[in-house]
Structure 1
Amino acid sequence: MASGSRSRRTRRSRPLQRVERSEDDREEPESVEQHPISIPDLRAVRLLLMQLGLPAELVYSIIDEAEYYPVVRGRYVGPQISLDATSGCQTRGGSCAAQLCMLTPPIPGGAPDESFKVKRVTWTIRGHDQGWGGERPGTFRSAYSWYEACIFRPVPSEGSSTNSRPGTAHGGGYGTLSGLLRRKYCAPKDTQDDLQEAGYSLVPVPGHTPGVLYLAREHVDPAKAEDAGRGIGAGFIESLQPGDRIGLWMRAQYPGWANFVKKAEVEVLYDVY
């Protein structure tokens, strides 16, 4: 399993957005988003700019530069979660632990004749690890607590399309998948039986450990990413579809290693056109 981000706290300015929050939200003071953006708002602004006589390429460029897009956000803010590599392992005597600490809501899609694209995924994580140090000073190499991101996808019910909109697939309801939160596993792949019961599948994506920020079509040097404590994000954004939910995992491996999280947030900026 590829190692993920050890970068613990990052902030990025962002435009006023429509926010769809997960069921795992906790109360926390924060700035008020006064002008949330909805999919109909996006359509209306795009049409207005075109009615002004601007060429389509310029309209799309303006929308993109302003980041005038809806957002889906999943957050965990609450009591500190701890994961020990030994006691958190599902297997007795094992020392490789995985715990799902946060889920986003399903990502909405547009109308049947509209295209869908995720523009950006941003992680903000506040926490710390515990373990042995000194093997590779000044880098995140040889650190055995990390985060991993995954994509959960509703399994289509009989007679429905694999590209069905949210709510048309078996298990697409909001609450079923949340039963995986904070269960003990050795690795995310060990959720298969529980996911099948919930009506979801785990989407295989190479290089899908979370960094601080993933951009569409972004290329990241794997060596530099590892030194900086982040994943390369290859294929993650391109794999996302309407109805998908993003999960954030805490990981710890080998005796003496542990992972602690106090706050975690994932923002998904998406476009329909």
Structure 2
Amino acid sequence: MSSFDWLRSQVQPVGPFSPSYNDVCRVRAILKRLRLPTELVLEILEHAQYWPTREFKSDPSHPIVATARNGRPSAATLCLDAGVFNNPIVNPIRASGERYKIKDIMFDIVSHDQGWTSEGTQGSFSTSSWLEVSILRNETNSSTRLPGPRLVNEWISSPQDFHRNMVGRGWFLAQRPAQALQGPQDGEGDFAWYLQGNRVVDRETYRVIWSENESEGNMGAGSGEGFLQEVKEGDRIIVWARAKVCAFDLILLCLQRA
């Protein structure tokens, strides 16, 4: 059977299609049989975004709340922990010996602010609640599990606070570049990238995409500058729900695709 006959014989998927590593290898071989230069083959696959993807989701039935109150000036609640290099999508690529990296990362978020304001900022992004992303790294650079939940609890005030708890336990948070957007994080250290601010009072659905050289997003979105360049083998990606000054952030769904 020729390569094109094989393509025509395949059952068309229902819904979004994500190629496996074997699919990518097969299509790459088909294009090479057309005697196309390797550089052009790779450019075609890149333009088509024909690469394996993996989804990580929080549980939408359990809303995640970050609350700054009772004398606490800020709060950080774990929204999502993703072992992006320790999953079935990456394993066959690793076994083949090919080099691999994250091409882009998409965040789909449903969240809202506290539902009221006395400062006349309703509908704006002059917010006290937002989401941000950290890179959790093990000193041995091995793919291991997130530390026990007692270290990720309601008493964490910021990623910097979490980082201090982890130092000495074999874990630490990677630092973002100084030029990356800070937003309400200013003054908390450089241990997280600003992802998305909540529109004051309102509930919204947001989509933010970070790639190596560009970003896409809504108003109030962070650009993720330097984020993908910093992610290394063995790292885990953490999404935080954040709040300051008696605000709270309710996350109904936080989906991440790498």
Is structure 2 residue 230 aligned with structure 1 residue 246? no
1:99 corresponding residue in structure 2: 77
2:98 corresponding residue in structure 1: 114
Alignment of 1:97-246 (within 5 A): 97-107=75-85, 108=90, 110=94, 114-130=98-114, 131-132=116-117, 134-136=119-121, 139-141=124-126, 143-156=127-140, 169=142, 172-174=143-145, 176=147, 180-196=151-167, 199-206=170-177, 207=180, 208-211=193-196, 212-218=208-214, 228-246=219-237
How does the TM-score come out when normalised to structure 2?
Answer: 0.71
Distance 1:177 1:38 in 2: 32
Shift of 1:99: 0.8
CA spacing shift, 1:57–1:177, aligned 2, 3 Å:
farther
Q: Percent identity?
A: 27
CA spacing shift, 1:195–1:50, aligned 2, 3 Å:
farther
Distance 2:54 2:148 in 1: 17
Aligned alpha-carbon RMSD (Å): 3.0
> Is there any run of 5+ residues in structure 1 with no aligned partner, and where?
1-30, 88-92, 157-161, 163-168, 269-273
Alignment of 1:4-23 (within 5 A): none
Q: For 2:39, what is the secondary structure of its paired residue?
A: helix
Q: For 2:220, what is the secondary structure of its paired residue?
A: coil
* Residue identity in the other structure for 1:127: S
CA spacing shift, 1:85–1:110, aligned 2, 3 Å:
same
* Residue identity in the other structure for 1:146: W
Shift of 1:73: 2.2
8 A Cα contact 2:112 2:251, kept in partner: yes
8 A Cα contact 1:125 1:261, kept in partner: yes
How does the TM-score come out when normalised to structure 1?
Answer: 0.67
Larger Rg: 2
* Residue identity in the other structure for 1:104: A
* Residue identity in the other structure for 2:251: V
1:42 corresponding residue in structure 2: 24
1:58 corresponding residue in structure 2: 40
1:22 corresponding residue in structure 2: none
8 A Cα contact 1:102 1:181, kept in partner: no
Distance 1:198 1:49 in 2: 49
Structure 2 residue corresponding to 1:80, chosen from 63, 69, 81: 63
Q: For 2:107, what is the secondary structure of its paired residue?
A: strand
Distance 2:168 2:22 in 1: 35
Shift of 1:198: 5.8
Shift of 1:104: 1.2
2:51 corresponding residue in structure 1: 69
CA spacing shift, 1:34–1:210, aligned 2, 3 Å:
closer
Query: What per-residue deviation string (whole Å, max 9, x for no partner) do you get for residues 90-136 of structure 1?
Result: xxx22211111111123246358533332111111112111526545
**What number of residue pairs does the alignment pair up?**
213
CA spacing shift, 1:200–1:44, aligned 2, 3 Å:
farther
Query: What per-residue deviation string (whole Å, max 9, x for no partner) do you get for residues 71-97 of structure 1?
Result: 23221122222221115xxxxx22211
Distance 2:120 2:53 in 1: 40
CA spacing shift, 1:34–1:249, aligned 2, 3 Å:
closer
* Residue identity in the other structure for 2:21: I
1:265 corresponding residue in structure 2: 255
* Residue identity in the other structure for 2:125: F
CA spacing shift, 1:243–1:186, aligned 2, 3 Å:
same
2:184 corresponding residue in structure 1: none
